[in-house]
Structures are given as C-alpha cells and as structure tokens.
Amino acid sequence: MKNMIIASTSTIYGSGYLEYLLPTLNDFFKNIKTILFIPYARPSGISYNEYTNIVAKAFSKIDIVVQGIHQFDNPNIAIEKAEGIFTGGGNTFELVNQLYRHDILVTLKKVLENGTPYLGTSAGSNICGVTMMTTNDMPIVYPPSFTTLGCIPFNINAHYLDPIKGSTHKGETRETRIKEFHVFNNTPVLGLREGSWLEVLGNKICLCGNLTARLFQKDKEPIELESGGLRF
Amino acid sequence: MKNMIIASTSTIYGSGYLEYLLPTLNDFFKNIKTILFIPYARPSGISYNEYTNIVAKAFSKIDIVVQGIHQFDNPNIAIEKAEGIFTGGGNTFELVNQLYRHDILVTLKKVLENGTPYLGTSAGSNICGVTMMTTNDMPIVYPPSFTTLGCIPFNINAHYLDPIKGSTHKGETRETRIKEFHVFNNTPVLGLREGSWLEVLGNKICLCGNLTARLFQKDKEPIELESGGLRF
C-alpha cells in the first residue's frame, strides 16, 4: 500500500531546507531510522556527496540517518532494503536519465507500491507522475524516455506559478504550457504551488498545506482544488 | 553563404506579431516574393493552417506571400525550392519532433548553409543552435534527438530573462538552469532578450536590437555582449 509525500518544493521562501515539512516528516517517518537518498537531480550540478550532506543535516533534526544511493554497490538492492526513500529536486531530465541508466525505475516503483515510505520534492515529485512531460526544467541531457513511475494517475507540475499580472514578458505562462501538453496528451496535470504537498496513502490522495492546487484536464477548464479535498 | 535572422521572440510587449522586425525583414527579404513557413511548433496548439494565416497576414505588409510546408506533398522538395524560409515559435520539442518525423533537418541545414534566407523566432531560433537543450519549453512530446541544425556554433536561450530581484519563488532562475546545462555540456549559450536578434552572414554573426545579450560559457563568468559587437 503506497505511503508517499509528494511536495512541490523542498524549500519555501524565508525558510531552511525542508524546514516547513519537518513536522510532517517527523510523523511520516516515525517508524524508521534510516533513509536512502537519491541525489541524481543535482541542483546547480552539485556533487552527489555534497547533496547528500545537505539532506543528512536536515534529517538529523528528526534523528534519521541518510545514506546516498551512490554509496551502494548495487542501487537496486539498496532500494529493496531501504526503510524509507527520498528523491530530492534539481534537474528532472538528469534525474530520469540516471534512473534509467542505473535501471532502477522498476524496482523503485515496486517498493513504493508495496509501501516503502517515500518523500519526493520538486524533480523527485515529478517522477511520481505518469511522465516527466510537465517538468519546468531545461532539457540539459537526453534521457532514454520521458515515462516515469506512475504511482499517481496524473502528472505533477511542481513550483506551479500563476500568470503574473501586468507582465511584459512574451514567453509562455505555465498555464499555456500545460494547455499545450494537453494538445498532445490526455494525462491530467496537477499544478502544485510552493508550500503544497500530496499525501498518498494507498489509493487515497490528499492535498496538504494551506494553498489550493490547480488541476488541468484535457478539454476542460482548469479547476482549483481545496486543501484536504483531493481524491482520484 | 549563410544568411539568417535569429530572433528571441516574434512579438515584443505592446506591439503586433513580427511588427518590431518588419523594417529589418523588408530589407532582408527584399529580393524574394514567397516564403516557406514551418508551423510545426504550434504555439498554444493552434493548427498549421491557423498559424500560417497569422504569418501570411504579417508578411503581406511587406508584399511577401507565405506558404505553409504542410501544404506541400514533399517537404524536402519544398525546402529545396524555397526562396526564403521562416520557422515560427511555439513548442521546441514538438518542432524538433516534426523536423525528425518529416526527415527534413539535413535538407534544411543544407539550404541554409547555401544561403537561402532564413528567419527564426523563439523555437525557430532555438533550432539554429547546436542542440535544443537550452529551450525554456515544456517537454510535451519526446523527440528522437535533441540535436538541431548547428548553423551557429553555440546554443540559443530565447526569451532570456534576468533573475527577478526580490522574487519569493524557489524554482530555478534562467541563469541557474543554463549553468546546470554547462555541468553536462560544453556548448556556449547565448541568452537573447526579447527585442534582440542575430544577423548571420556567412560566418559573421552580429547582435542587433537595442539590448545586450548574455553569453554563458562553461567554467567562465557570464558576460554581457554589446549590440553590434558579436563575433564567433
């Protein structure tokens, strides 16, 4: 039975890394002592070790020890044995590229379906959806596929941003981009604003945090979902 | 000998489609009567016909007739016979996908190297670079490759945006994304702000418009290039 937290961002404005989520994580991970960290998304290209150190420092506040998946000889066995798993943010293309390169997507999906507690933030949340086709990231590497875990029956758009009123910029808004996605694809897309996260327990999905989230469905007007109310 | 205009955007704030470029285009296309339009990028998913009609209306102001590449039985022959070519903006992933699907990338590169006048805006400019890996667009389709025309020895970042001072948003800035690109790639990237364009004549490349452009090179500090001064 799935047991996942899928967050828009690791960090909200004016707050430390994972700080706003720590009370939730303290409860969510209360039965485990170690977490396997997947650092493949490498924000700003930092090394796996640097990234793992940042994460270890945050989790030390709730007495959880963090080990990077790169520190294991066999990443598939590391995933199978993990008490809990966290995939951090960064570049979704590189994250997905490495998931395929290390051939761990199938194992990761299996343990998540079987209930290993999972936290994803940003890119680590994007991979929970059906595809990574609604990421905001730059395609800095070419992954072998855009297909991701499909642990939820829709796609995530992390760091969802509303159109900026009075903007003079002519690049597409986030909403325009997601509508373009629906010209070619049927998968619903949930725009998760910074500070929102999903709690997935089995097939029940709950929107948490203080904000609404914006649900885009093909050929329908987008709707705002209230916190606490999401069901798929 | 190459003869290209590579523009950040088709449209600047407060102005009509291609309006700010028309005086330049009137001169650039002065010897031709027809333009072949490549509508594959489909902004907001509009149809090829709708998109071609918008472009035809703009070019009618400088007495040029526009034909969409989709109106020809053989797109490769259409490209070879074209007096001039324009690729419009929209989604770069879908544009590149269709260029591969119709197998026209090689022919397009050949005629551009041989001097067929070319205009690109936004996505149509991204494809002039070495790869499409510095697009801002959403990966709504999976193209067979990210390799593009390579008519210039660097990549374009269209609609380049400076970091917004005082922003509370925690998603990556454009500069951060381009720096992440350089963790994995060596190709220089030119951030072209809206209102800037490149004029390419043979191997001479000139930055036009009133703004500076931001050049990113691996392991170097970004630099601002003055209008008129670019050479590669």
Q: Are A110 and A60 in contact (CB under 8 A)?
A: no
Identify the pLDDT of residue B118.
98
Which member of B70, B102, B137, B196 is catalytic? Answer: B137
Which residues of A are annotated as catalytic? 122, 137, 159
Identify the pLDDT of residue A232.
55
Give the amino acid at B24. Answer: T
ipTM, 2 decimals? 0.93
B130-151: pLDDT as tens digits: 999 999 999 999 999 999 999 9
B23-44: pLDDT as tens digits: 999 999 999 999 999 999 999 9
In a mutational test of the B interface, the residue from A20, A148, A180 whose CB has the highest number of chain B CBs within 10 Å is: A180
A74-130: pLDDT as tens digits: 999 999 999 999 999 999 999 999 999 999 999 999 999 999 999 999 999 999 999
pLDDT class of B232 with cuts at 50, 70, 90: low
Res A7 pLDDT > 60: yes
pLDDT class of B231 with cuts at 50, 70, 90: low
B176-207: pLDDT as tens digits: 999 999 999 999 999 999 999 999 999 899 99
Domains of chain B (ranges, CATH numbers): 3-225 (3.40.50.880)
A139-183: pLDDT as tens digits: 999 999 999 999 999 999 999 998 877 777 777 889 999 999 999
B119-128: pLDDT as tens digits: 999 999 999 9
Q: What is the DSSP letter of A28?
A: H
In a mutational test of the B interface, the residue from A48, A98, A140, A165 whose CB has the highest number of chain B CBs within 10 Å is: A140
Q: How far apart (Å, rounded) are the C-alpha atoms in residues A184 and B136?
A: 18
Res A221 pLDDT > 60: yes
Q: What is the average per-residue pLDDT within A59-87?
A: 98
Identify the pLDDT of residue A166.
77
Q: What percent of chain B has pLDDT over 90?
A: 91
Nearest-neighbour CA in chain A from B200: distance (Å) = 24
Q: Which residue of A has its CA nearest to B44?
A: A180
